[in-house]
Amino acid sequence: MAIEKITMPQLGESVTEGTISKWLVSVGDKVNKYDPIAEVMTDKVNAEIPSSFTGVIKEIIAQEGETLPVGAVICTMETEGEGAVTAETAEAPKAEAAAPAPTQTQAQAPKKPAGEKGRYSPAVLRLAQEHNIDLEQVQGTGMGGRITRKDVLKLIESGNVPTPSQTAAPVQAQAPVQTVQEAPKAEAPVSAAPKAAAAPSVPVQAGDIEIPVTPVRKAIATNMLRSKHEAPHAWTMVEVDVTNLVAYRDSIKDEFKKREGFNLTYFAFFVKAVAQALKEFPQINSMWAGDKIVQKKDINISIAVATDDALFVPVIKHADEKSIKGIAREIAELAAKVRAGKLRPEDMQGGTFTVNNTGSFGSVQSMGIINYPQAAILQVESIVKRPVVKDGMIAIRDMVNLCLSLDHRVLDGLICGRFLARVKEILENTSKDNTPIY
């Protein structure tokens, strides 16, 4: 028998932590390798954590609602022999293992010091603050007497809530320190993020609605704060005449939908143009890495897909090698996965440049926050008909603004201006004669 640890996986670039939203197994359950054991939520993806082994769940360490860094142990599993437990060995009578189980657990998990009780997860702290609970008076049922989210919920349901005394330190003074089970190697990425400022005191009056911050919204806020905190943002914009592109797409969209089964959107043309320009200006396809700049070989375009309450950024891999039809298919498939809650961690990884379709909301000018650690993000605004001067005459043309936010540590205005000029040239010369769809 061997005790194996299952840790919080890396669920996307720049993701440093995840929140256990639901356990799909219990202690004592038999699990096969790759079976889902828990649902986890980050700012980029909702996903299931697969088991790395075949065996029996020995101990569940992370509680539902608890946020842990990448690499932290979330549960342990008992496996047999050097490899995975087979289906036959997993069917062995449980009675034989029942007796020595407590002894094995005690041997594997050394007793935590009494001080561990005072280390609370963010979920426990939030509930304590909302219900004015003195956590020093709560008896925890977790490892080493640690207070879990379920302990606090049980108190709230019972109505027997211990409140702080006049001399007791306020719960707010408790910093959301690392959880007991965190792996030491996870300390570095966590400390790399900027420290959040103290929450402002906002008076709540009758009729006001208090909306709890979800784990997804909290993670989005953390990542956006890190991007703005670390990357010196600069911004530039070009105006593009896409009259010919609009006419071309509108003339073939119905036949395309009938033949392929998905829509040929304007956005596919923009992503293709950006991928082609990135190939010609590879400096834009870079990332800041402290003492060096990493220029990425692969051109993987991140696209922003919004739901009612969150924003996800799946990735079109090797976009420069795909046709407009291939890009349109991936856009449709990734958007469907996001809205169905079926996006996988691998769908979010590897992005090197982000294109955001803000025009779908009617926006005509905006400045995006860079998708850290990438070096730039392009906002494709709404296509609108406007009077413009063409060949010395006023004409009604289909116009669009392309707004580029850039990390000034990596990129300068000259290279970004040339990049945008090339994207503009490709789009303005898009037509039936020189732009194949397939």
Bond from prior residue into 373 cis (ω within 30 degrees of 0): yes
Has 408 been annotated as catalytic?
Answer: yes
Which residues on adjacent β-strands are paired with residue 40? 20, 47
Helix (H) or strand (E) holding 105: helix 101-108
CB atoms near residue 39 (< 10 Å): 17
Answer whether 358's CB lies under 8 Å from 366's CB.
yes
Determine whether 433 is exposed, middle or buried from the number of CB atoms within 10 Å of its CB (0-12, 13-18, 19+). exposed
Could you give the CA distance from residue 327 to residue 270 in angstroms, rounded to a whole number?
Answer: 10
Output phi, psi for 46, to 5 deg: -105, 125
Answer whether 251's CB lies under 8 Å from 430's CB.
no
Q: Write out the two tokens for 171.
A: 């719960």
Q: Which residue, among 29, 28, 11, 12, has the nearest Cα to 20 in the 3D structure?
A: 11
Residue-wise DSSP of 344-402: -HHHHS---EEEE-GGGGT-SS--PPP-TTBSEEEEE---EEEEEEETTEEEEEEEEEE
Residue-wise DSSP of 135-197: GGG----SGGGPPPHHHHHHHHHHT-PPPPPTTSPPGGGS-----TT--GGGHHHHHHSPPPP
Q: Which of 229, 250, 254, 408 is catalytic?
A: 408
| 248 residue type, one letter | Y
Helix (H) or strand (E) holding 7: strand 2-7
Has 131 been annotated as catalytic?
Answer: no
Output phi, psi for 412, to 5 deg: -115, 165
Q: Which of 208, 347, 412, 433 is catalytic?
A: 412
Catalytic residue ranges: 408, 412
